[in-house]
């Protein structure tokens, strides 16, 4: 995930990476057909550069783009910060190949690592770097993943039920749909897809797969549409978008990986370093908000008369709440509509370090 066209946890679902926002994948695909081509436009690009460039001004400063995608944000930062180095990380080998080609003119300042973004410490070790000066996470489905319709992320195209961001892993959406017990399937759709009719959809899937395995995105999308009440189908976008989101998050363990990523990235962030996270649905944004808030407050006991040095905030919030794209950007790039940006700066190392 990370970059330019990306991302959308709800996208695959119909929406972002972003969903609770309206960055519907199908809207983006329609826009691309109309020549707008939003799929390759980095979301909130100027603001990302504004937030991270100050931490990358020193010679040899290191940016970790944990969700490299097509490298759009990284390219802008490489241009803006001519002495910085990039450690580009992505779990998708196709994304790494494409971004390496795009950033070929910066080959002396780039290092690419095939890894999940929770493995940022390993990526830094492989690059021979002890600390990062900036970290960027642009969550959700990337442009390369959406571009290859046979990967099964969008219900607008008939494709195998795959949805793997890393095609070297075994678990696919088809396996989830056809093998998970109905109770577990309901949990996935309710917790990750925020689908109100999760149990109805899960039971409909159970009935269909008892006759024959469900193997295509079109078959699943039609099944979900039929399982959801007609009145509900008339509003809120495609009826299958939340089911697709839930499945995608389950297949790629997106939320658990994000929960592991934030402390891992912060553990290797230099004092004065900055981290920015672009989320596209409420589940991701909530995890990010809590992780940042926990380290951005003074934890001195209330009954003590003076603040304790080792209880002072480790992070300084750079954004007030979650920043949103401008209306102008939303009009220019429909994919940005669900984006939520949070950024922090490390101001202190924890005393135990």
Show binding-site residues for S-adenosyl-L-methionine. Answer: 71-73, 90, 117, 138, 145
Q: Parallel, antiparallel, or unpaired: how do β-strands 85-90 and 62-65 relate?
A: parallel
Distance CA 113, CA 91 (A): 8
Distance CA 302, CA 237 (A): 48
Look at residues 250, 262, 257 and name the one whose alpha carbon lies nearest to residue 290: 262
**Burial class of residue 273 (count of CB atoms within 10 Å of its CB; 0-12, 13-18, 19+):** buried
Distance CA 340, CA 302 (A): 33
Length of the chain: 353
Orientation of helix 198-211 relative to helix 182-191, angle to 10°: 140
Torsion of CA 193, 342, 292, 307, to 10 degrees: -150
In angstroms, the Cα distances linking 307 to 59, 291, 304, 312, 353 are 35, 22, 7, 7, 20
Give the HSE-up count for residue 295: Cα atoms under 13 Å, Cβ half-sphere.
21
* Sequence-distant contacts of 301-304: CB under 8 A, at least 24 apart: none
Q: What angle do CA 273, 275, 276 make, to 5 degrees?
A: 145
**Burial class of residue 218 (count of CB atoms within 10 Å of its CB; 0-12, 13-18, 19+):** middle
**Burial class of residue 11 (count of CB atoms within 10 Å of its CB; 0-12, 13-18, 19+):** buried
**Six token digits for residue 71:** 């490298």
Give the HSE-up count for residue 226: Cα atoms under 13 Å, Cβ half-sphere.
11
Do 51 and 274 meet the contact criterion of CB atoms below 8 Å apart? Answer: yes
Which parts are annotated binding residues? Answer: 71-73, 90, 117, 138, 145
């Amino acid at each position: 995930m990370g970059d330019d066209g990306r991302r959308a946890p709800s996208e695959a679902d119909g929406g972002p990476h972003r969903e609770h926002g309206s960055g519907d994948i199908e809207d983006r695909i329609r826009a691309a057909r109309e020549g707008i081509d939003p799929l390759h436009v980095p979301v909130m690009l100027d603001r990302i550069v504004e937030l991270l460039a100050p931490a990358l001004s020193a010679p040899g400063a290191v940016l970790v783009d944990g969700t490299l995608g097509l490298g759009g944000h990284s390219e802008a930062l490489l241009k803006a910060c001519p002495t910085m180095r990039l450690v580009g990380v992505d779990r998708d080998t196709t994304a790494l190949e494409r971004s390496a080609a795009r950033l070929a003119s910066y080959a002396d300042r780039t290092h690419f690592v095939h890894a999940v973004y929770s493995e940022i410490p390993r990526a830094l070790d492989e690059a021979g770097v002890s600390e990062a000066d900036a970290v960027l996470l642009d969550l959700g489905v990337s442009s390369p993943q959406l571009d290859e319709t046979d990967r099964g992320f969008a219900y607008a195209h008939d494709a195998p039920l795959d949805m793997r961001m890393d095609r070297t892993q075994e678990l696919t959406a088809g396996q989830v749909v056809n093998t998970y017990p109905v109770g577990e399937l309901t949990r996935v759709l309710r917790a990750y897809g925020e689908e109100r009719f999760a149990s109805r959809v899960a039971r409909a899937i159970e009935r269909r797969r008892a006759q024959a395995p469900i193997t295509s995105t079109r078959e699943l999308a039609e099944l979900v549409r039929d399982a959801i009440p007609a009145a509900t189908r008339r509003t809120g976008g495609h009826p299958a978008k939340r089911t697709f989101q839930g499945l995608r998050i389950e297949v790629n363990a997106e939320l658990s990986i994000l929960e592991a990523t934030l402390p891992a990235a912060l553990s290797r962030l230099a004092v004065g370093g900055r981290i920015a996270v672009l989320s596209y649905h409420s589940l991701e944004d909530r995890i990010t908000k809590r992780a940042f808030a926990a380290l951005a407050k003074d934890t001195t006991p209330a009954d003590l008369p003076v603040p304790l040095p080792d209880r002072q905030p480790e992070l300084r919030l750079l954004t007030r709440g979650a920043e949103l794209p401008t209306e102008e950007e939303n009009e220019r790039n429909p994919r940005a509509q669900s984006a939520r940006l949070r950024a922090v700066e490390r101001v202190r190392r924890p005393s135990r370090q």
